[in-house]
Amino acid sequence: MGKRFPREELLAPGHRGCAGCGASILVRMALKAAGRDVIVVNSTGCLEVFTTPYPETAWRVPWIHTAFECGGAVASGIERAIKALKKRGKFKDRKITVMPIIGDGGTADIGFQALSGALERGHDIVYIMYDNEAYMNTGVQRSSATPLFASATTAPAGKRSKGEDRPKKDMAMIAAAHGIPYVATACISYPEDLMKKVKKACEIEGPAFIHVLQPCTVGWGYNPEDTIKIGRLAVETGFFPLYEIEHGEFRITYRPAKRKPLKEYIRMQKRYRHLTDEDIEILQKYVDERCKLLGLE
Amino acid sequence: MERVDVITGTTAAAIGVKLSNVEVIAAYPITPQSECVEMLAKFIADGEFDAEYIKVESEHSAMAACIGASATGVRTFTATAAQGLALMHEMLYIASGMRLPIVMLNTNRALSAPINIWCDHQDSVTERDTGWIQIYAQNNQETLDSIIQAYKIAEDEDVLLPVMVCIDGFILTHTVEPVYIPDERKVRDYLGIYEPKHAYLDPDRPITQGPVGVPECYMETRKQINDAIERAKEVIKRVNEEYYQLFNRRYGNGLVEGYNLENADTVLVAMGSVCETIRYVIDRLKKKGKNIGLLRIRTFRPFPKEEIKEMLEGAENIGVLDRNISFGLNMGALGTEIMATLRDKKICNYIVGLGGRDITPRNIEEIVKHLEESKDVETKWIGLKE
């Protein structure tokens, strides 16, 4: 991996991310894969807040943040502006990648419409959804990407509640339904797979959508040193399968030798600590069904 | 070469955009604006105009796309009205906060509920504090000219703020008038190509735009916007004169326009197309030996306080017409601003023409009569059904 991807860090150290923050790991990898000819768009959220408290910035690439629900639209404007500038002779023979890096709330909830518009219009963008499965910036409120039975502050576990009562919204498949040339899932615990996907997304003309699972030490409730381990378990258990859909062609990109029991993943996280073995069995069945559907037995 | 066309206000605006060499347009339809973005699409489809045209899925995204494009360093345009403008509200602050010279046409229309597609000014006066410059045109010629001027003003180094050109829905958007179309090359030479000097997204010069404004810096950003929109007064006046030198048309001093103010004790203050109706009434009353003045406010923001004080110094009866209402105060936006500017005058506020209710010459005469005969200065609603 070291040979294929540069050592240069385009997200500077010293930002205010938590120890063990999965989002900052994702950004480092994505920018290594994309290189310097990139313009990053953030929506309001953790990443924006911890990287840019004025007058500080951690970004060594051009970066913009406007509001919460409009990352797709801001990226659309930038992409077309680059086209216009190219007509004037700027950025000659260069492919500038417009890369929204936006959380699950900014993508699956409040920014859903702007995302759908951007994908449907065919803008040449690489949209990365960094999914920590809740509104971590504002205190772990549930989003539509929060998985079934996870406890969140607006879907708390209690005497009459097992936490979130709806399964996770499947953003990668929703993106794929737009008929865009490239869709993938990835996880920060599989850096080479992730970076290969980002690189491919940058090269492909037209919209690309990469759904990246990114464990969050605060929101999920685990020790900071376990971020990578938890991500691995999400993939090894089949909770979060890694695949890509390139020009309509579906392909599993990582196939665990033998899927681990979901319990190993669940028991490491405080957000699931209210669950009984029977509850976990329900989740296991759900994961089994999804894996079967994707051909990941 | 300059030529004359008989066109609607929305077409005049679209031609203004085309002449201004705009590079990225975000388009979302809404009555009574739609013809403007339709015309722009047609210019592009016919190969007359080479702009990027983003068919966004909402007005919120229209403004977001303009922000993205403008922050990348190109000239941008969008158009909207009423509900669309309200949906953009959040992004309006971001456009001015990021100091982006975006130009937008707002075709003034009433706000729901009940849903109403016709003219009043509630939509744009509601956005008066967003840091946008607001120009209210009174006819289709001024609409075209104001779009061109708007880019010159917005992109000025002393300003760097977005500009909203407001025109009355249906009254201007759907009415044809003869409009002088300036020579294309002359406009392009005047405006040049937009080249941002400070903040723009460029991989060769990475900068961070839109960071977290902590308490140690946020208040200063507000002061800077306020200072810039104050400076815009001089820029608007200068652009008004430059435009006159080049294209032989000017609108008062750019901020306000007076009509028959000399020796007029009674003066009406208004914005938009109703000013032409008022002038018609003034001319008619003049023949009957009555001297009535008009002060047209062209820029609601920046608000031309100095000019208003100066030009209304001799006025004794001041009637302010508002096509909007602040619920709970029983006054319109212009009425409150004029009262705040002229604290020792007799001023009466008239609420008129909401949701497309016609403002007829008879209504204007009624206002003049009330102003001259009554000492009562409580806000009056004109044209209400009994």
Q: List pLDDT tens digits, range B132-171.
A: 999 999 999 999 999 999 999 999 999 999 999 999 999 9
- Average pLDDT on B204-233 reads 97
* B-chain residues near A39 (CB < 8 A): 72, 201, 203
Q: Given an 8 Å threshold on Cβ–Cβ distance, is A54 in contact with B212?
A: yes
| Residue ranges of chain B that CATH labels 3.40.50.970 | 3-247
Is the pLDDT at B173 greater than 70? The verdict is yes
Can you point out the beta strands (E) in A108-189? 126-131, 157-158, 161-162, 182-187
Out of A39, A116, A120, whose CB is closest to B203? A39
> Kind of pairing, strands B3-7 and B177-181?
antiparallel
Out of B67, B98, B211, whose CB is closest to A54? B211
On whether the CB atoms of residues B41 and B169 are closer than 8 A, the answer is no
| Residue ranges of chain B that CATH labels 3.40.50.920 | 256-381
* Chain A interface includes B199 (CB < 8 A): no
What digits encode the pLDDT tens for the residues B50-75?
999 999 999 999 999 999 999 999 99
Run of H or E including A198: helix A191-203
On whether the CB atoms of residues A64 and A52 are closer than 8 A, the answer is no
Q: Exposed, middle or buried: residue A2 (CB in 10 Å: 0-12, 13-18, 19+)? A: exposed
Distances (CA, A) of B17 to A268, B26, B76, B152, B190: 59, 12, 9, 12, 14
Q: Exposed, middle or buried: residue A18 (CB in 10 Å: 0-12, 13-18, 19+)? A: middle
Beta bridge partners of A251: A244
Q: Given an 8 Å threshold on Cβ–Cβ distance, is A114 in contact with B52?
A: no
Q: Which among B90, B42, B33, B97 is positioned nearest to B63, based on CA atoms?
A: B90
What digits encode the pLDDT tens for the residues B296-338?
999 999 999 999 999 999 999 999 999 999 999 999 999 999 9
> Kind of pairing, strands B52-54 and B24-26?
parallel
pLDDT class of B386 with cuts at 50, 70, 90: confident
- Give dist(CA A126, CA A34) in Å, integer: 10
Q: Which CATH architecture best describes the domain A22-294?
A: 3-Layer(aba) Sandwich (3.40)
- Give dist(CA A103, CA B228) in Å, integer: 35
Q: Given an 8 Å threshold on Cβ–Cβ distance, is A77 in contact with B76?
A: yes
Q: What is the CA radius of gyration of chain A?
A: 19
- Give dist(CA A115, CA B321) in Å, integer: 43
On whether the CB atoms of residues A78 and A40 are closer than 8 A, the answer is no
CATH number of B3-247: 3.40.50.970
Residue A183 backbone phi and psi in degrees, to 5: -135, 140
Residues in chain A, overall count: 297
DSSP three-state, residue A83: helix
Q: How far is B154 from chain A (nearest CA, A)?
A: 18
Can you point out the beta strands (E) in chain A? 38-42, 63-65, 97-103, 126-131, 157-158, 161-162, 182-187, 208-213, 242-246, 249-254
Out of B57, B67, B213, whose CB is closest to A117? B57
Q: What is the ipTM of this complex?
A: 0.97
- Give dist(CA A179, CA A176) in Å, integer: 6
What digits encode the pLDDT tens for the residues B180-200?
999 999 999 999 999 999 999
Q: What pLDDT shows up at residue B385?
A: 93
Q: Which CATH architecture best describes the domain B256-381?
A: 3-Layer(aba) Sandwich (3.40)
Which residue shows structure tokens 């497309």? B356
Block mean pLDDT (10 aa), chain A, length 297: 77 96 97 97 97 96 98 98 98 97 98 98 98 97 98 98 98 98 98 97 98 98 98 98 98 97 98 98 97 93
Distances (CA, A) of B352 to A62, B104, B107, B169: 49, 25, 18, 15
- Give dist(CA A108, CA A111) in Å, integer: 6
Run of H or E including A11: none
* Chain B interface includes A69 (CB < 8 A): yes
Run of H or E including A81: helix A71-87
Which residue shows structure tokens 């417009």? A98
How many percent of chain B have pLDDT more than 70?
100
What digits encode the pLDDT tens for the residues B335-344?
999 999 999 9
pLDDT class of B1 with cuts at 50, 70, 90: confident
Mean pLDDT of chain B, nearest integer: 97
What digits encode the pLDDT tens for the residues A13-26?
999 999 999 999 99
Q: Given an 8 Å threshold on Cβ–Cβ distance, is A85 in contact with B71?
A: no
What digits encode the pLDDT tens for the residues B225-278?
999 999 999 999 999 999 999 999 999 999 999 999 998 999 999 999 999 999
Question: What's the one-letter identity of residue A55?
Answer: P
